Every structure is written in C-alpha cells, then in structure tokens.
Amino acid sequence: MNLADVAIRLLAAGLVTVSIGGAVRTQPAPSTPAVGVVEATRRPMTQTSEFVGRIEAINRVNVTARVTAFLEQRLFSEGAEIRKGDPLYRLERGPFEADLAARQAQVAQLEAMLENARLTTERARTLLGGPAGQQSTYDTALANQRSLQAQVQAAQAQVQASQINLDYTVINAPIDGKVGRTAVTEGNIVGPSSGVLTTIVSQDPMHVTFPVPLRQGLELRERYSPQGGLEAVTIRLRLPDGRMYGQSGKLNFVDNSIAQNTDTITVRGELANPVLRAASSAGVTAHELTDGEFVTVLLESIHPIEVLAIPRAAVLSDQRGDYVLVVGRDNKAEQRRIQLGQSTATIAAVIGGLAAGDKVIAEGLQRIRAGQTVAPDTASALLLSSMNGAAPPSGHGTPARPPAAGGTP
C-alpha cells in the first residue's frame, strides 16, 4: 500500500498525522456546525402601510389691518402661544375718535330736528278739526317728520360705522394658536393694502395629509371597508429623526377627486399635539409637531391578523427570490423557497413555502450550506425577544400591540 492510500484512509477515519520537527501529531476532523433554530409559528401582526405626509395646522389665519392708520404698538411676543381675543397690535386712535364724535353730534342735531317736526305734525293734526286747519299743512309736516326719521337712522348707522373703525384700531387674535414674526414694526402706516402683518397657526390638534397612489388606495379600501372603513385604521407617525411620535390619530377625510398629474388621492388624519414644555418667560412653548413638517405616516389596522412568522434574519435572497434553510431529516439543512407578506424589521410574515412547526435556521447561516448536517439548538434570547415585538416597525407591518389605556389600539 502506497503513502497516498494510507493518507486517504486516515482522512476517512477522521484522523490525519502531521510530522512537525520529527514529532507526529494527530488532528481531529472538523465538527458538525451548531445553528440556532426557531420554529415557524402563527402569531398576530398588525397590517401597516407607509406613506410620506405633511403636518398642517387645522386653523391658519393671516392677520391684516382693516383700517389705515399708524401702527403705534405691537402687543405680543413673536413665536408665543396666544388665545382668541388677545390684542396683537394697537393703531393710532385719535382720528377715529374725532370722527366718531362728529357722527354722534350729527345724530344729536337730527334728533332735535325730528322732535320739533313731531310737535309741528301734532299741531297740524289738531288744527284739522277747526276752520283754520288744512290737510296740506298736515301732510307736509308729516312728510318732513318721516324724512327726519330716515336721516336720524342714517346718521346712527354712520355712528356705528365710525365705532367699528375705532374698534379696528386694536387688532385682536381671531383664533387660539402660535403667532409668527411680525412683518411691520411700530411707526409704519398699515392698512388693508399693506399685506399680512403676522400669521397665527393653531397647535393642538394637528392635521397630517398624505397622497395615496390610486391602486394602493383601492387595496386599502377593499381591506378596511368590511372592518368599518376609516374607523378601522389608526395613524402613527415617524418623525424626521426616526423617532416614533407618541400620539396616535384617526383618519377623518378622503378627497373627492384624483390628482391627474400624480394619480394619487389625498387622505387626511388628525392627531393630538400637546405642549412638550411649559411656556418660557417670553411666552414661547414647544410642540412636537410643526406646521409644514414632513413625516412618515403609518396606517395601521386596529384588528391584527394571524400570520406565519419567522425571524427576518433567517430570510436569504438570491436572483430567484427569497428562501430559508430549515432543519430536515437527519439534521440536514434544506433550502425552502418562500413568499413573504407584510413584514417588519425583525419578523418576516410567510404566505407560502413553509408550514407551522418547520424548524428554520436563524443563527449560524454563514457557516452552513444546503445539504450539510448541522447541530440544531434553540436560538438566542435576543433573537427570540425581537420576535416578540421588541423592535420598532419598518413600515410594512408591526407585531400586534396590546390596547393602551382608554381602549386606543
């Protein structure tokens, strides 16, 4: 027997001899690789759809002057929260007070003339019963009285208009909200043609609007219509820094037409936007959501569905699609082609290719290949905890969460 045949038989027996410096050492053959295994099980998962949206204030008011006058004083702190009726600007009042006084004097004059006309009319009516009375005199007196009555009413209307203009010299906040910066400073002449003085936007609650592609909108309608339509969906937001917003909301509007240039339909929801911090000395408060802010909108079903779930880390992909390795007979790794449904960053929902109870290899994949014998063991606690919903959603689906206090999903 030659040396090559001896080496082959030693390798087959699991031993190989290596001569190092005249000494002979025996090395064992590689052991069976250990892998972490998770059973494919059915679990509840919340259906989620992801869109890009924009935060919009429910109420937005551009404050303008309604009379022309000098701006004497700004009465608010820029960026502060204000209440409806709070004074914002004070305009010069003197010319309007003088005009009001002149109108009131005119009313007083006409009322005196009217009182005299009433006396004249009454005398003419009394004389109609005697020889000196004439019908024409009475008719003239009565017509003069009615004319003066009309003039008094017109003068009183002028007084009311002057009072309104005088009231307009103090510009008050029409809504609750946060006031922006002022566009005009003290000493300038302002009026209806001078443009916007400042802007007020409401803060709590807020709207979020987002476009939904028509095809996806039809799918959502088919999915949620049997469950209650808009009431079957809750809204969650992912903020620009990646954090999940702490408040959930509800849909309250779907537009009545499709945008022809994008083939999308606009959908709107409403969420609470409470104060994060108390007002500073300048009256400035902070809210999480800001008018005009871009956010990621997650539409979540309030009714979870049952899916066959495996760890996302167990899913592999190639040019043919997605697949997993499972522990088959004699502990050999087998390749299974699968079809994925809605998934999260940690959980993959399988809609085809696996059955409940299949042992899916989720750890140690880099050390094995299909057809190789493995040593299966339970996956690590960290991987199992992620299967229980410890990780945040990726936008395609989330593990079902227990209802919060008050019954909100």
User: 60: pLDDT confidence band, cut at 50, 70 and 90?
Assistant: very high
Distances (CA, A) of 240 to 53, 213, 271, 343: 11, 22, 17, 22
26, two tokens: 């025996």
Per-residue confidence (pLDDT) for residue 114, from 0 to 100: 85
Here the CATH number for the domain that contains residue 71 is: 2.40.50.100
Residue 130's pLDDT band (boundaries 50, 70, 90)? low
Q: What is the mean pLDDT of residues 179-187?
A: 90
Tell me what the mean pLDDT of segment 349-364 comes to: 84
Verify that 325 and 235 share a domain, yes or no. no
Report DSSP letters for 350-361, one per residue.
EEES--TT-EEE
- The pLDDT value given to residue 52: 93
Q: Is the domain of 127 the same as that of 208?
A: no
Query: What type of residue sits at position 44?
Result: P
The residue with greater pLDDT, 2 or 137, is 137
Residues 230 and 325 in one domain: no
Residue 225, pLDDT above cutoff 60: yes
Contact between 50 and 68 under an 8 Å Cβ cutoff? The reply is no
pLDDT of residue 393: 40
Residue type, 284: V
pLDDT confidence of 351, banded at 50, 70, 90? confident
Give percent above pLDDT 90 in the chain. Answer: 27
- Of 168, 199, 230, which residue constitutes the final position of a domain? 199
Asked if 264 and 214 touch (Cβ cutoff 8 Å), the reply is: yes
Residue 277 has pLDDT above 80, yes or no: no
Whose CA is closest to 208, among 143, 273, 132? 273
Nearest to 362 by CA among 8, 32, 103, 38: 38
pTM more than 0.75: no
Q: What is the CATH number of the domain that holds 219?
A: 2.40.30.170
What is the per-residue pLDDT for 24? 46
Out of 83-87, 124-128, 194-198, 336-340, least confident range: 124-128
Q: Are 114 and 148 in contact (CB under 8 A)?
A: yes
pLDDT score for 17:
44
With respect to residue 170, please indicate whether it lies within any of the assigned structural domains.
Answer: yes
Q: Pairing state of beta strands 87-91 and 170-172?
A: antiparallel
Question: Do 75 and 55 fall within a single domain?
Answer: no
**Number of independent structural domains in the chain:** 4
**409 is a domain residue:** no
Q: What percent of the chain has pLDDT over 70?
A: 81
Residues 193 and 230 in one domain: no
Residue 388: band (very low, low, confident or very high) from pLDDT cuts 50, 70, 90: low
In a domain, 407, yes or no: no
- Domain boundary residue, one of 199, 223, 241: 199
Q: Are residues 93 and 173 in the same domain?
A: yes
199-210: b or e for each residue (b if 16 or more CB lie within 10 Å)?
bbbbbbbbbbeb
Pairwise CA distance, residues 128 & 395, whole Å: 95
Rg for the chain, CA atoms, rounded:
41
Banded pLDDT at 165 (limits 50, 70, 90)? very high
Tell me whether residue 206 is in a domain. yes
Does residue 195 lie in a domain region?
yes
The first and second tokens of residue 396, run together, are: 């395609």
What is the amino acid identity at position 266?
Answer: T
Q: The domain spanning residue 313 has which CATH number?
A: 2.40.420.20
Say whether both 68 and 192 belong to one domain. yes
Q: In terms of C-beta density within 10 A (0-12 exposed, 13-18 middle, 19 or more buried), how is residue 36 classed?
A: buried
Examine the domain organization and report whether 278 and 358 are in the same domain. Answer: no
Residue 18 — φ and ψ, nearest 5°? -125, 125
Does 183 fall in a domain? yes
On whether both 223 and 265 belong to a single domain, the answer is yes
Is 24 within the bounds of a domain? yes
* pLDDT exceeds cutoff 80 at 78: yes
- Distance (Å, whole) CA 366 – CA 374: 12
If residue 310 lies in a helix (H) or strand (E), which one and from where to where? strand 305-311
Strand 206-213, strand 264-271: pairing = antiparallel
State the residue for tokens 């999308």: 264
Regarding whether 266 and 166 lie in a shared domain, the answer is: no
Q: Does residue 345 register a pLDDT over 80?
A: no
Which contacts (CB < 8 Å, 24+ apart) does range 136-143 have?
141/117
| Residues 336 and 285 reside in one and the same domain | no
- Residue where one domain finishes, among candidates 266, 281, 301: 301
- Is the four-CA dihedral 215, 219, 224, 225 of positive or negative sign? positive
- 307 has which bridge partners? 43
Q: Are 146 and 121 in contact (CB under 8 A)?
A: no
Q: Please tell me the least confidently modeled range out of 81-85, 90-94, 160-164, 284-288.
A: 284-288
Most confident of 37-41, 162-166, 214-218, 384-388: 162-166
Q: Are 77 and 283 in contact (CB under 8 A)?
A: yes
Name every residue whose Cβ is closer than 8 Å to that of residue 148 and which is 6 or more positions away in sequence.
110, 113, 114, 117
What's the rounded Cα separation, in Å, for the pair 87 and 170?
A: 7
User: pLDDT band at 392, cuts 50/70/90?
Assistant: very low
Q: Which domain holds residue 168?
A: 61-199
Averaged pLDDT of the chain = 80
- Averaged over 101-129, what is the pLDDT? 86
- Residue 406 falls within a domain, yes or no? no
Q: Are residues 67 and 190 in the same domain?
A: yes
